[in-house]
A and B are shown apart, each in its own frame.
Chain A
Amino acid sequence: MKYNLLIGGQAGQGVNSISEIFTKVLINYGYYIFNYKDYPSLIRGGHNFNIVSFSDKPLASFESKFDGIIAVDNLTIKLHEKNLKKTGFILNSEKFQDLGKDINIALAGALLNTFGIDKKNVLKVIKNKFKTKECINIGEKGFDSEVTKYNLNKLNNKISLMSGSEGVAIGALNSDLNLYVAYPMTPATGVMNELAKIQNTKRDLLVFQAENEIAAVNASLGGSFAGANSMVGTSGGGFDLMSEGLSLQGMSEIPLVVYLASRAGPATGVPTYTSQADLNVALRAGHGEFPRIVVAPGDAYESILLTNQAIYLSNKYNILSIIFSDKHLAESQFSFSENIPKFLKIVKNRKIPFINKEVIKATSYEHDKFGNTIEDPKTTIEGHDRRLKKYAELQKVCEEFEMVKIYGKKNSKNLIIAWGSTKGAIIDAIEDLDCKFLQVLYIKPLSKKIKKEMQNAKNIILVEGNSTGQLGRLLREKTGILIPKENRILKYDARPFVCNELKEEIQRRLK
């Protein structure tokens, strides 16, 4: 079973609250959920919607046809009714007009009764969220206004619901993060908010909003120099501003971890929507030549793990680590039933002022091993060689991690290659197709397994959320294997892949 619901209304009408109440109840009932959030760049009015998909089996995508539309305003119906399945239902706010701003609570109640959830469980969740008796009564009124259409049984699954942003924050916290410096920018701000709200006297964590991204990255390096385990977060435009700091990291070899949540560019682009177009800049930004790692989690669970690995590697090798996310990954909610495995313990492999007795120097200038400025050719070469040596080291050490993952039919001659937030839609789309899916989690360095997989496949299909196939180009550079143009499924309408549409695209290319 799988249901696909659209919940829509104006910004400020509580669309997110409906999905929050609904998903909280469903998680308790043991259902897997994927919640996609779509909103334009405005604060009140306009049209926002969530697509909540749920199933008794794992899922991480949504579909284009809806089993139900929950409409806080009439525009929602007007815009989306054409995508309602014949068997689908609509819950509108007509009956609740006198409730004003609490229409959403009534609709949440009505929706949960539609799915046959026990009233007690519904009111408990509403009580926890809104506290007041009035809200509970409104929830009950909504609940009573509908009849049960589907009967959801309680399942035994233990499920966690988490956004990519929450995943990065949990990964960072469990890597003993001390300092997070950022300047607000969608869709990266989620991590700043997550970390900021858990600052407390027992935890050595400080979240600082700097005057701009240039200040953020330089302050992070300053903090790191002084011994803090530090991180910055930003999106495309802010990342551009941070470029000089990336290069400074390269020369000074002070650990720097950058959380890059991309959105549709160039420039301001489509600011509250998604894109994978910033991979090139993540791989190359910063002048000069210096090592880095770029990891790309594909869901909330991987966001936890890869954030931990990125921080670990940055501190161990004194390098730049970039955690690549995007709006779709950062703000969508994913569910998983795995336990979070043990975290890698962060070891600071550098001398720290104040703690060390001797004088410690770090510099943007080419330097000798004591940190003294030099300009002679011999020491310049030595400096480069010392930094470049890390490429080989990283290639070796990263192979110990899960740099790629394989899904689908292991012996299929069809091979899909993709990375990042496209993962969920691909896995759901290929469920009953004859193909194998290779997810690239480490984009720099690249796993040696990728070339082997590509050599063994008869038909390679690339799936990316950009217009030029940036991973495809990188794979060609590193493996010499070209994925033909007709086999590149590229989406650049600033929206994520929709499972059933992607399935058709893949099916047409299977051999």
Chain B
Amino acid sequence: MQKNKINPQDISTNQLITWCPGCGNFGILESVKRAISEIANENKLDKKNFAFVAGIGCAAKIYDYLDLNGFYGLHGRILPVALGIKLGNPKLKVIGFAGDGDTYSEGISHFMHAFRYNSDMTLIVHDNQSFSLTTGQATATSQQGFKSKAEPLGEFNEPFNPVKIALASGGTFIARCNAFDIQHTSEILKKAIEHKGFSYVEILQKCIIFNKEMNDLNKLMFKIEDNKNYSEALKLVEMWDYNSKKGKIPLGVLYQTSKPILEEKWFQLKQKLEK
């Protein structure tokens, strides 16, 4: 039980932050701290009630910047570790921090299965449409024509649309945010963590070093009301294809529904939750 109120800065560490100046990750870090401190205070929770998992990449550096129980895992394996933590102690509120390379390339199978399992946890994908810590190669969400040292002729493949995959995989909470809109992102993250089931938040953060071509997406973005209608969700996830620099990009809860969660289907976990 909570003894003292938790402020966002109470979740900070004094480790040197090594993200590039101006990186969207700063915004995500702040949004996360706000969301977690609010949830902790409203539910009288302590820091020890939370655990987070990071993958490998720029996003994963957040491991050193959050003063919470943390597991700095391997590239792409955020979700299996997070699931394992829930199987080990379903009472922990588990949040995963991943990049687009992490989730949509190395860990795509875990991503799709996570929706099937519907374990009560949250995945935050810091999507900058490039592998940046490895100096700027194309990921599965990079736009066609994206040039890198590895692909000087430009990326030939179309990106895939992760929010559409999430919807097709049976997601119960699918949201998209803009890393630079801290207020909105922290509100959505709070809803995601409070959602009963697997919540997935795709955060467009732009890479200001390696994928500048996609740095102007802000002007396409618009906020929506929380959506619980499936046919509407189909339209929302289709609205932007991750390739185009035109059109409209809806932000907010693209779809939310309710399905039985893993922790209630397994009596072993249910027993622990009720204890």
- Residues of chain A touching chain B, judged by Cβ–Cβ distance below 8 Å, are 178-179, 181, 199, 201, 204-206, 208, 210-212, 214-228, 230, 244-245, 248, 252, 353-354, 356-365, 371-373
Contact = CB atoms under 8 A, between A and B. Distances in A.
A439 B175 CA distance: 59
Contacts of B72: 361-365, 373
A186 to B, nearest CB: 22
Interface in B66-116: 67-74, 77, 79-89, 91-92, 109-110, 113
Interface in B25-73: 47-49, 51, 53, 56, 61, 63-64, 67-73
A311 to B, nearest CB: 15
A208 B87 contact: yes
Given A179-B88, A353-B89, A371 B81 contact: no
A211 B80 CA distance: 9
A354 B89 contact: yes
Contacts of A222: 53, 71, 73, 80-88
A357 B81 CA distance: 22
B113 A211 contact: yes
Contacts of B51: 225-226, 353-354
B268 interface: yes
B69 A363 contact: no
B64 to A, nearest CB: 5
Contact of B49 (A199, A354, A360): A354
A353 B82 CA distance: 13
A228 B72 CA distance: 18
Interface string B263-275: 0001111011000
Contact of A372 (B64, B81, B88): B64
17 contacts: A206-B269, A211-B109, A214-B80, A221-B73, A222-B81, A222-B88, A225-B71, A226-B92, A227-B89, A353-B89, A354-B48, A354-B51, A354-B89, A361-B63, A362-B71, A363-B71, A372-B15
Contacts of A201: 267, 271
B159 to A, nearest CB: 23
Contact of B88 (A216, A224, A357): A224
A359 to B, nearest CB: 6
Contacts of B269: 206
Q: Can you list the 10 inter-chain pairs with the closest CB atoms, starting with the nearest?
A: A222-B84, A226-B88, A219-B84, A228-B88, A218-B80, A223-B88, A363-B72, A353-B69, A222-B81, A215-B80
B85 A226 contact: yes
Contacts of B70: 359-363, 371
Interface of B: 13, 15, 47-49, 51, 53, 56, 61, 63-64, 67-74, 77, 79-89, 91-92, 109-110, 113, 266-269, 271-272
Please indicate which of the listed interface residues A226, A359, A365 has the most CB atoms of chain B within 10 Å of its own CB: A226
A248 B87 CA distance: 19
Given A219-B81, A373-B63, 20 more contacts: A178-B88, A179-B84, A179-B88, A210-B80, A211-B110, A218-B80, A222-B53, A222-B83, A222-B86, A222-B88, A226-B51, A226-B92, A227-B89, A244-B74, A354-B51, A359-B48, A365-B72, A372-B13, A372-B64, A373-B72
A224 B48 CA distance: 17
Contacts of B84: 179, 181, 218-226, 228, 230
A179 B272 CA distance: 14
Contact of A230 (B53, B73, B82, B88): B88
Contacts of A212: 109
A179 B87 contact: yes
A339 to B, nearest CB: 30
A353 B113 contact: no
A221 B48 contact: no
Contacts of B267: 201
A177 to B, nearest CB: 12
Nearest to A215: B80
Nearest to A228: B88
Nearest to A362: B71
Contact of A248 (B73, B79, B83, B272): B73
Nearest to A216: B80
Contacts of A372: 13, 15, 64
B91 A354 contact: yes
Please indicate which of the listed interface residues B61, B72, B271 has the most CB atoms of chain A within 10 Å of its own CB: B72
Contacts of A228: 84, 87-89
B108 to A, nearest CB: 11
A226 to B, nearest CB: 3
Contacts of B63: 361, 363, 365, 373
A164 B219 CA distance: 64
Nearest to B87: A223
A225 B83 CA distance: 11
Contacts of B13: 372
B81 A221 contact: yes
A215 B53 contact: no
A29 to B, nearest CB: 40
Nearest to A371: B70
A199 B268 contact: yes
A28 B83 CA distance: 45
A363 B56 CA distance: 11
A359 B67 contact: yes
Contacts of B89: 226-228, 353-354
A222 B79 CA distance: 10
Contacts of B56: 364
Contact of B110 (A178, A204, A215, A248): A215
A225 B64 contact: no
A398 B87 CA distance: 31
B48 A356 contact: yes
Please indicate which of the listed interface residues B81, B109, B266 has the most CB atoms of chain A within 10 Å of its own CB: B81
A287 to B, nearest CB: 11
A5 to B, nearest CB: 42
B74 A364 contact: yes
B77 A218 contact: yes
B257 to A, nearest CB: 22
Nearest to B47: A359
B88 A225 contact: yes
A358 B269 CA distance: 24
Nearest to B79: A215
A354 B92 contact: yes
A36 to B, nearest CB: 36
Nearest to B89: A226
Nearest to B83: A219
B134 to A, nearest CB: 16
Contacts of A226: 51, 84-89, 92
B88 A205 contact: no
Contacts of B47: 359
A355 to B, nearest CB: 8
A436 to B, nearest CB: 46
A227 B48 CA distance: 13
